Amino acid sequence: MRASRRRRTTSTSCCSPAAAVVLGWVFAAHQIGAAAAAYAAGLTRTDLGTYSPAFITAGWLCAGAAAFAWSVGRGRRRPTAQRPIIAVAEAAPLA
C-alpha cells in the first residue's frame, strides 16, 4: 500500500488538474507535426531525389522555435519594489 502513496503525477503534486489536458494537447500536436514532417520529407525525396531540402527546412523551423522559446516571458514586466541597501560596517579588531 505504500507504493500507491508515492505514485503522484505532476498534476496532483504541483499543478492544477487541467495540466493533464494541456499535456495531452501538446502531445497530440507534437504527433501531428511529426507526421506532417515525415510526409513532407517523403514527398521531397520522391520529387527531388534527396532529403536535403527537408533537412534544411527542419533546421530553419528548429531555429525559429528556439527563438520563440527564448522570447517567451521576456515581454514587459511589472517593476519590482526597490530593496533598501543595507551597509554593514566592519567591526574593529579586538586588542
Query: Is 24 domain-assigned?
Result: yes
Query: Is 19 domain-assigned?
Result: yes
Q: Kindly write down the DSSP assignment for every residue of 13-60, as one continuous string.
A: HTS-TTHHHHHHHHHHHHHHHHHHHHHHHHHHHHHHS-SHHHHHHHHH
> Residue 47 pLDDT more than 50?
yes
Question: What is the tens place of the pLDDT at every residue in 4-43?
Answer: 555 555 556 566 777 788 888 999 999 999 999 999 999 9
How many domains does the chain contain in total? Answer: 1
Query: Is 77 domain-assigned?
Result: no
